[in-house]
A and B are shown apart, each in its own frame.
Chain A
Amino acid sequence: MKDELRCTWCGHENPPHVVECEKCGAPLKPVWETESLPRKGDAAPEVASALTEDEELRRWLAQFADEEVESVETAEVPEADETTIDEERLLEWVEQEVGETEVEAEDRAALEAWREAREAERTLSEAEEPVPLETPSAEEPPTAPSEAAVDWTAPLVGEGPAEEGPPAAPEAEGAPEAAEAGLPELEPGEVPDWMASLVGESPAEEGPPAASEAEGAPEAAEAGLPELEPGEVPDWMASLVGEGPAEEGPPAASEAEGAPEAAEAGLPELEPGEVPDWMASLVGESPAEEGPPAAPEAEERPEVVTEDRSGETLGETPLMPGSAEVLLGEEELEALLEEAAASRPAEEAEEAQAVQEDQLPEWVRALRERLAGEDEGVVLPGEEEEEPLEPVLAGPLAGIPDVLPVEPRLTQMVQPTQPVLKLVLRKEERYWAKWLERLLQTEEAPGEAGTAVERPMPYWLWRLVVGLAFMLGLLAMLVRGWGRGLPARVPSPAVQEFFYTAQSVPPGGVVMVAVDYLPAWAPEISLAAQPALRLLEARQPYYLVLSTQPFGPGLAHALLTELGVPPERIIWLGYLPGGRAGLAMLARWPKAAFPPAVQGPNPWEHPALAQWQGMSDTAMLLVLTDQPIRAREWVEQVGLLLSPETPLVFVGSAGLGPVLEPYLGHPVRGWVSGFEDAQALAGLTGHPMPANLHRLWQGAMMLGLVLAMLSGVTLAVVHRIRRRSQ
C-alpha cells in the first residue's frame, strides 16, 4: 500500500496513522509529528475525521493555553507543571470563596469529597478506554468544549457557576485533569457538610465533569462520595437539598441559557439573614456575565466578560475558555498597585526595612557607619555652608552622605555633567578637593587668540638692520685699508687688572697654569695667551702646569715651547680628573689631587716647590679656557677658596669676558678675553703684536662678514623662490 509506513527496524508495514510500529513498537515518525497522531492501540482510522475537527479545536485552544501558562509564570508561581498550577489556583479559589462565604472547616470536607469523586470519576474514565477522545486528558481536550465549562455550584445559587463553584479556568483544556492531579487530599472530616450533601444528592453536577462524560460521571460520584447526615448540612444549603439534580448540579456550558430559568424555578426563597454576603452580591447578576466563561462556539471566538472583585465590569476581553482569571488593563493594574501600596501599613514597611538591614552585607554597614556625618563641617573659609542634601533615611544607602535622593531626580533623564563615581575621601581630602574646585572656578577664561598687544618687529626690518651692520663693518675695514692694523684700543678694566696682577708676581714665584681648552680653540687661545705669558716671562716664574682635559698637557707643552719657556721652569702635574669635584679638591688639597707617583719623578720634590705648602703659596693662578662655563666653574670651586695673596686670572676666548664681569675684583683679578684684549694688553706691555696677527684678525673678520652676507642673501633668495613656487 502506498501510504503505509514501513518500520525501519522490523520491516513491518503499518497504517499511516500510527506513530509506532505495531509489531516492534519502534517509532515510525519524528516526535514532533507524532503529537497529533494516535499511537499504537489508539482509535481506528474511522476516527480520523473526528480527529481533524478535534485538532482544529485543540489548536484554537492551545493559543489560550499558552497565554494561560505565561500569565501563571509571570505571577511567579513556584515551579510546578501546568496542571499543578491550575489545581492550586482552583483550591485557592475554592478556599477564598469559601472563606468569603464564612463557611468554616467543614466545607473543606465537602471539597475533599468532591475531589475524591473526581478521582473516582477519573478512575472510571480510564476503565472505559480505549476511546481516549472521549476521556479528557492533558493532551486532548474534550471534544465538546461547550459542555466543559460546567459549574457544579450554579444550581446552588440559581445563577452562573462562577460564583461559588470551583473555578472554570482549568476546564478549558485539560484543566479537570490538572485539578485531579494536584489537589491536596483533604481529610474526610474537612469536607463541609453542605458539600458532602451535594455530592451525595447530585453526583452528576458536583464535579466539574467533562462535557462529554456528563452521563458517566454520576456513577463514579455516587460510588465514592460519602453520604452526609441531614444535620450536617447548613441551613441555607439544606433548603437547596431536595431540589432536582438539574437545578443543583453544575450545568453544562451549552446549557447556560437554560440554567437561570431552572435556578429561578427551583431555588427557594432564602431569608436575607441566611444568604451569605458573597452570595447576596451575586444575586441578580446575569450568569453570562459572572459565571465561568461559556464554552466557545464552533466558529467564533468567545468573548468573555469578566468582573473584578469589586463587581465592576472591566471590559470584554478575549479570554481562554473556562478561565476565570480577570484580565486587567494597565491603568487598572497601576491603580490597583498604588492602592495596595498606599494601604500598606507603616509597620509593615518598617518591619521590611529591618529585615532588609539584617540582610545587608558587612561592608555596607561599615561604610554607612564610617561615612555617616563625615561631610559635616567641610566648609572653606569665606564660604557659606551649602544646604545639605536631604538624607536618605531608608534603604541600604541610609546614613551615607551625599546620596542623591531618588524620587525628584529620577525623572531627570539627562546625561550627567560630572562623573558620578563616588570616591571614598577623607574629610581632609574633601576639604582640599573643594579648595581646588573653588580655585578652578575663580580662574578666568583665557583671552582670545590674537589679542596680544605686543607685535614683533617685522622680519624684513631685522634683516635690513643686520645687513647694514655687516656692510658698515666691511666698509670700515676697506676704508682704513688692509693690513694697516686696528686702532689702538683702550684696555678694559679687566685687562688693566690683569696687567697689574701680573706685574705683582714676585720674580721666581710659582705660577700655576691650568690648561682647560680643546685643541680646536688653540689658535685663539694661543693668540690671547702670548702677550700674557710674555708679560709673566719678565718675572721668570716657575710654571706649575696642570690640565683638566686629557689633551691639556700637549697643548700646554706646545704653547710654552712656542714662547720659549725653558723646561726647567716647567713643573708638570698632569691631568686632573673629576670635573668640579676635582677642582674643589685642587683648591683644598692640591698635593692630594696630584699624589706623587710611586715610581718616577715626584713633581712636588721640585726645588721651586720646597717652600710651597698649598695654594696660598702660589703667586698666581692662570686659567686658560675656551668655555665661559668652565671659567665660572673655576670661580665657583676654586676662586672662592683662594686667599687674597693668590690672584685668579683668566686667558681665554672672546666670549669669556661678559661671563666673568660680575667676578671682577674678587675673586677674579683680571682676564684677557680674545684677540682684542690681547692686543690691548700688548699695548700696555709695549710689545705690540706682530703684523701677521693683525692681518690674520682682519682677514677673519672680513671673511666672516662676507660669509654672513652671502649666506643671508642666499637664504633670502631660496626662501623667496620656495614661497613663490608654493
Chain B
Amino acid sequence: MGLAELAGLVVALVMTVGVLSYALFGNHELFRGVAAVFVGVTAGYAAAVVMRTFVIPRLIQPFLVRHWVVVVPLALGLLLLLRGTRFGGLATPVLAFLVGVAAATLLVGVVLGTLFPQVLATWKEWSGFRVWLTPTQGMLSWLFVIAVLVAFHFGRHEDWPRALQYPFRGLRIVGRFVVVVTLAVLFLRVYQSALLALAERVLFLWETLRFLLLGP
C-alpha cells in the first residue's frame, strides 16, 4: 500500500469516526468539521462535473466557435441569474417555461406510466395473466385494493344501512392493515439498506484499524 493510499485510508477513518461520533457526542467540533468538508467536497465536485461535462462543452465552446444556436439557452440561463435582483421580473418567463414543461412531463408520465400500468397490473392479478399467481392470490389482490380504497374514504357512513356499515368497517380495517403492512415493508427495506451501509462502514473501520495496528 502506497503512502497516498495509506493517507487516504487514515483520512477516511477519521472522517468516518467523526460522523459516527454524532450518535454518542452530538454536534461537536469534529463532526462539524467533517460535515463542512463533506458539503464542500460535494458541492465542489458537483460543480466541477457540471462545468466539465455540460457548461463548457455545451455552452462555452459552441459560443466560442460561433454556434449561435446556443445563444438562446445561454440568454435564458442568464435571465435566471437575475432572479432575486430588481430585474427579477425578467426571469419570470423563463421560470414559467421551466415549470410548465416540468408539470406537463410529470402529468403525462404519471398518467401513462403509473396510473394505467398499475390498474392493468391489478387486472392481470385477477385474470390470471401471470402464471405464477393462483386465483386465491388474485382475489386477495383485488380484496386488498378495494380495502385500501375504502380505507381512504373520508366520508360519512353512519347514516348508511346496517347491512352496509359492517362490511364497510371491516373493509376499512383490512385496508388500513394492508397500508400499514405495505409501509412497514417499504420502511423495512430502507432500514435494511441503511443497516447494510452502516455495517459496511463498521467493517471498514474494523479492517482499517486491524491493518494499521496489526498490519496486512
Contacts and interface: CB of A to CB of B under 8 A. Distances in A.
Given A520-B197, A598-B67, A653-B193, A551 B109 contact: no
Contact of A700 (B42, B172, B190, B198): B198
Given A661-B121, A699-B203, 19 more contacts: A521-B193, A523-B196, A523-B200, A550-B46, A554-B49, A574-B54, A598-B67, A633-B109, A654-B196, A655-B186, A657-B189, A658-B185, A662-B122, A663-B121, A674-B196, A699-B199, A700-B195, A703-B198, A703-B199
B152 interface: no
Contact of B102 (A551, A579, A657): A579
Nearest to A600: B57
Interface residues of B, number: 53
B83 interface: no
A580 B57 contact: no
19 contacts: A454-B172, A523-B197, A523-B201, A550-B46, A553-B53, A581-B101, A598-B57, A598-B64, A599-B57, A637-B105, A637-B109, A654-B190, A654-B193, A655-B189, A661-B121, A662-B117, A666-B117, A700-B196, A703-B195
Most B-side CB within 10 Å, residue of A550, A584, A632: A550
Nearest to B176: A454
Interface in B117-168: 117-118, 121-122, 130, 132, 156, 158-159
B169 interface: yes
Contacts of B7: none
B114 interface: yes
A523 B16 CA distance: 14
Given A598-B65, A637-B105, A653-B193, A699 B57 contact: no
Interface string A511-546: 000000000110110010000000000000000000
Interface of B: 42, 45-47, 49-50, 53-54, 57-58, 61-62, 64-65, 67, 101-102, 105-106, 109-110, 112-114, 117-118, 121-122, 130, 132, 156, 158-159, 169, 172-173, 182, 185-186, 189-193, 195-203
Given A550-B49, A580-B106, A658-B182, A696 B196 contact: yes
A449 to B, nearest CB: 14
B203 A575 contact: no
Interface residues of A, number: 58
A155 to B, nearest CB: 98
Contacts of B192: 654, 674-675, 700-701, 704
A639 B49 contact: no
A674 B189 contact: yes
B113 A524 contact: no
Contacts of B189: 653-658, 673-674
A444 interface: yes
B131 to A, nearest CB: 10
B145 to A, nearest CB: 11
Interface string A585-615: 0000000000101111000000000000000
A582 to B, nearest CB: 10
A520 B16 CA distance: 12
Interface string A125-163: 000000000000000000000000000000000000000
B173 A454 contact: yes
A453 interface: yes
A635 interface: yes
Interface in A659-682: 659, 661-663, 665-666, 673-675
Contacts of A633: 109
Contacts of B57: 597-600
A633 B114 CA distance: 9
A574 to B, nearest CB: 4
A272 interface: no
Contacts of B200: 523-524, 696, 700
A221 to B, nearest CB: 98
Nearest to A700: B199
Given A653-B193, A697-B196, A447 B53 contact: no
A640 interface: yes
Nearest to A655: B189
A493 interface: yes
Contacts of A523: 196-197, 200-201
A661 B137 CA distance: 15
A674 B196 CA distance: 10
Which 3 pairs of residues, A with B, have the shortest CB-CB distance? A636-B113, A700-B199, A636-B109
Given A520-B197, A700-B196, A700-B198, A662 B118 contact: yes
A193 interface: no
Interface string A318-341: 000000000000000000000000
A579 B191 CA distance: 26
Given A655-B190, A658-B189, A674-B192, A575 B49 contact: yes
Main DSSP-derived SS at the B contact region: helix
A699 B202 contact: yes
A579 B158 CA distance: 46
A520 B200 CA distance: 11
A556 to B, nearest CB: 12
Given A574-B54, A662-B117, A697-B196, A704 B203 contact: no
Nearest to A698: B199
Contacts of A597: 57-58, 61
A653 B106 CA distance: 24
A548 B45 CA distance: 14
A577 interface: yes
A65 B115 CA distance: 97
Nearest to B203: A696
A637 B132 CA distance: 29
B109 A697 contact: no
A720 to B, nearest CB: 23
A444 B159 contact: yes
B110 A636 contact: yes
A527 B196 contact: yes
Contacts of B106: 580
Interface in A612-666: 626, 628, 632-633, 635-637, 639-640, 653-659, 661-663, 665-666
B193 to A, nearest CB: 4
Contacts of B186: 628, 655, 658-659
A581 B105 CA distance: 6
Contacts of B109: 580, 584, 633, 636-637
Nearest to B116: A640
Nearest to B49: A550
B113 A632 contact: yes
A639 B67 contact: no
A454 B169 contact: yes
Contact of B46 (A454, A551, A626, A701): A551
A662 B114 CA distance: 9
A673 B189 CA distance: 9
B106 to A, nearest CB: 6
Contacts of A632: 113-114
Contacts of B64: 598
B161 to A, nearest CB: 16
Interface string A374-403: 000000000000000000000000000000
Given A453-B169, A703-B198, A704-B191, A663 B117 contact: yes
A658 B186 CA distance: 7
A521 B195 CA distance: 11
A262 B46 CA distance: 132
Contacts of B197: 520-521, 523-524
Contacts of B130: 493, 665
A704 B195 contact: yes
Contacts of B132: 493
Contacts of A636: 109-110, 112-114
Interface string A340-367: 0000000000000000000000000000
A454 B151 CA distance: 13
A697 B113 CA distance: 34
Nearest to A580: B105
Contacts of B113: 632, 635-637, 639-640
A53 B114 CA distance: 113
